[in-house]
Amino acid sequence: MSLSIRGLNVSLSKNHILKDINLDIKSGEFVSILGNSGCGKTTLIKSIAGLVDVSSGSISIDEEDITGLSPEKRKTVIVFQDLRLFPHMNVEQNIAFSMKLQKMNKKDIEERVRTLLEQVRLSGFEKRKISQLSGGQMQRVALARALGANPKLLLLDEPFSGLDESLRKDMGNLVKRLHRENKITTIMITHDKEEAMKFSDKVALMKEGTILQYSTPLDIFAKPGSREVAEFMGELNYFDGEVKNGKFTSELISFNTDKAEGKYSLMLRPGGLSVSEKSDKGYLIKEAVYSGEFVSLVLERDKEYLVRLAYKEFKSLEIKPGDYVKIRVNEKIFEPVLL
């Protein structure tokens, strides 16, 4: 199932929430809508599901305009943060709910429920009450119930919210596996960039009701279209320079480029830099922060810079806070981005 959104605008209580959203999702893709709280992520998927009124624009599934269709006719299902399981029903009854609405026969329902429980690794939990389940188990029941509706499009609203780190990883892997096995086009909204990068075919980064960039996780990280996108995806260093006669020149590095002549900033992630040697004319090490396999160095010259080294490399340099060092580009992972 493919999804196409054109010029989508949504206003709620006189507030303009979504502003000219354009989005194309191919059949079978896993797409994350990434952004901070209040950027319009949930409103966007509610619009797709038909749960909020659209001010203008269109939403099409498989090239059919569904903008005016009621929610039950769109073949979309949302798994909300609060899961919305029925507490008076057991696990089996929750999962079978949508199937009964579709008037499937009893034998087919039982078989489908059994299959879904196997998929979410909850076989034998059919008669359990919702109150007897852990948070992770309830998440699995909610996913099974959503898949039981046989949707064309699965919408996930912060599906791992409230889970501890290990459960988040487990649930993330489960969602990706279910997506792969069931071949359902999936849209997940999240504020966690690592989740978006890990699980998605494409990422739409949102801010204040607009999409800043829509691309693959690698491009969002390595080829950001703006400083806003670059800075959302993690810590950065900027080195000022100038493009002239097809060459960018800065104090750190020079290289050929097809950018127009003018002043630019070279963007480098902390891992894109390395320390070469001690030097009285270099950068002052203000702080060294240990984080397992890596050490982050806070350096200062005209401004602060951040360099992330492998612990083994850091130890071999025999440097410490208070020393002055030279820095260089890590040629192995260097990808020039001029902004």
Q: pLDDT tens-digit profile of 170-217?
A: 888 888 888 888 889 999 999 999 999 999 999 999 999 999 999 999
- Tell me the two tokens of residue 184: 């359902």
pLDDT at residue 163 tops 80 = no
pLDDT at 88: 94
What residue has token string 């009285």? 280
Helices (H), the chain: 41-49, 91-101, 106-119, 135-148, 165-182, 193-199, 217-222, 227-232, 311-317
pLDDT at 302: 87
Burial 161-184 (b: 16+ CB within 10 A, else e): eebeeeebebbbebbbebbeeeeb
- E strand residue ranges, the chain: 3-12, 15-25, 30-34, 56-61, 64-65, 76-79, 153-157, 185-190, 202-207, 210-215, 237-244, 247-250, 254-256, 262-268, 273-291, 294-300, 304-310, 324-329, 337-338
Radius of gyration of the chain (CA): 25
What pTM, to 2 d.p., does this model score?
Answer: 0.87
| Contact yes or no for 196/39 (Cβ under 8 A) | no
Q: Residues 51-59: what's their mean pLDDT?
A: 96
Give tens-digit pLDDT for 2-34: 999 999 999 999 899 999 999 999 999 999 999
CA distances to 96, 238, 248 from 261, rounded to whole Å, are 63, 18, 9
Distance CA 322, CA 136 (A): 47
Confidence class for position 101, pLDDT limits 50, 70, 90 = confident
pLDDT at 207: 97
Distance CA 246, CA 51 (A): 52
pLDDT at residue 333 tops 80 = no
